[in-house]
């Protein structure tokens, strides 16, 4: 490669993994006061996957990582950068990146996790892109993985119908051909109390607390902010690349809620047959949802090499992000 040539980070392989246990809407009808019709009409979700009692976030991430590595034709010796987006780590430390590094028999390279809720994969993708394009890394493993079932209140029908477990991964490699064209990240902590988990290592539960150690969400407020924020980040991405929305081949959105996905598509004037939708299969898997959707669309042949993809996500914090990719 000529020293004057620009280096791009290209996605050369994707992978995903969903736990074997499936929890259907019919199953939830037996657990809480809800119905299949209510869940489908408001979220688009039909089922979600739940990790086994002995499965951890690293277990899920490992399966997705191995599939992505196989698709890219790379081995442990090729990986020189690992970043994992997750809100549900196995341990306080070591981080999931380090635990995964050990599982994959990779040694010495940077390995860490980012905690930006549903935006974790896009945040990780942006960081890995910077490392690869600067020449600091040649082959990066980027993962989004969650075991949200561990922090869901299964008696709260407003949240337990939404979330599931899973993992998705991508391999980024240095290339002269355009790959990741731009990433755009943002956050606004003013909205922290609309979607959060109330407890952590430095804030333990107190006897007088009324909240359980579970996801807390004000769904209507989250919906309003999410739709507007996603519209803004999509427009920012298009302006930065001097593109019209009609030039996008595929929108790969965060799989949070079918209504949010449809609202974003309408604002882009994008037909739903150009939007990758997998929320019905696994619910909201937070940081795993975008790479899960990407991998499914790649493996079923919808997404083809050379096409222009727009990935976007929104999560607790609030955090958000997008990535424009020439696949």
Residues catalogued as catalytic: 118, 254, 284
Please say whether the beta carbons of 86 and 116 come within 8 A.
Answer: no
- In sequence order, the 6+-apart residues with CB closer than 8 A to the CB of 324 are 180, 181, 182, 183, 237, 240, 241, 243, 308, 309, 310, 311
Q: Cβ-count burial of 259 within 10 angstroms (0-12 exposed, 13-18 middle, 19+ buried)?
A: middle
Q: Are 32 and 54 in contact (CB under 8 A)?
A: no
> Which H or E element spans position 262?
helix 258-267
- The distance of Cα 191 from the centroid of its chain, to the nearest Å, equals 20
DSSP conformational letter for 96: H
Cis peptide upstream of residue 318 (ω within 30 degrees of 0):
yes
Residue 15 and residue 169 in contact, taking contact as beta carbons nearer than 8 Å = yes
Q: Give me 176's structure tokens.
A: 């002269």
The closest alpha carbon to 125, from 323, 327, 296, belongs to 323
CA–CA distances in Å: residue 175 to residues 8, 87, 273 = 5, 31, 30
DSSP classification of residue 83: E
Q: How far apart are CA 211 and CA 286, in angstroms?
A: 21
Give the separation between CA 147 and CA 149, rounded to whole angstroms: 5
Q: Give me the residue label for tokens 């709260």.
A: 156
E strand residue ranges, the chain: 8-17, 21-24, 47-50, 81-85, 111-114, 139-147, 165-175, 180-187, 195-196, 216-217, 250-253, 308-315, 319-326
């Amino acid at each position: 490669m000529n020293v004057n040539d620009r280096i791009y980070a290209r996605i050369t392989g994707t992978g995903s993994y969903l736990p074997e246990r499936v929890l259907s809407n019919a199953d939830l009808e037996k657990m809480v006061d809800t119905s299949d019709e209510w869940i489908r009409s408001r979220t688009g979700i039909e089922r979600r996957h739940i990790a086994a009692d002995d499965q951890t976030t690293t277990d899920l991430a490992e399966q997705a990582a191995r599939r992505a590595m196989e698709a890219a034709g790379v081995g442990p010796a090729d990986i020189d950068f690992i970043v994992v987006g997750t809100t549900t780590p196995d341990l306080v430390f070591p981080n999931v990146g380090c635990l995964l590094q050990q599982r994959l028999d990779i040694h010495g390279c940077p390995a860490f996790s980012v905690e930006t809720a549903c935006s974790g994969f896009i945040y990780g993708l942006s960081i890995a892109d910077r490392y690869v394009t600067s020449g600091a890394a040649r082959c990066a493993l980027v993962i989004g993985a969650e075991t949200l079932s561990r922090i869901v209140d299964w008696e709260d029908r407003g949240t337990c119908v939404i979330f599931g477990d899973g993992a998705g991964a991508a391999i980024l490699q240095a290339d002269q051909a355009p790959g990741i064209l731009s990433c755009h990240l943002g956050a606004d902590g003013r909205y922290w109390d609309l979607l959060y988990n109330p407890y952590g290592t430095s804030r333990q539960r107190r006897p007088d607390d009324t909240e359980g150690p579970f996801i807390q969400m004000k769904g209507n407020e989250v919906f309003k902010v999410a739709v507007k924020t996603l519209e803004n980040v999509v427009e920012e991405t298009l302006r930065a690349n001097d593109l019209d929305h009609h030039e996008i081949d595929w929108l790969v959105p965060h799989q949070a809620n079918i209504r949010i996905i449809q609202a974003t598509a309408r604002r882009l004037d994008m037909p739903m047959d150009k939007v990758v939708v997998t929320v019905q299969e696994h619910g909201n898997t937070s940081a795993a949802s975008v790479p899960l959707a990407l991998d499914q669309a790649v493996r079923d042949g919808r997404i083809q090499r050379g096409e222009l993809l727009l990935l976007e996500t929104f999560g607790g914090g609030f955090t958000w992000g997008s990535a424009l990719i020439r696949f």
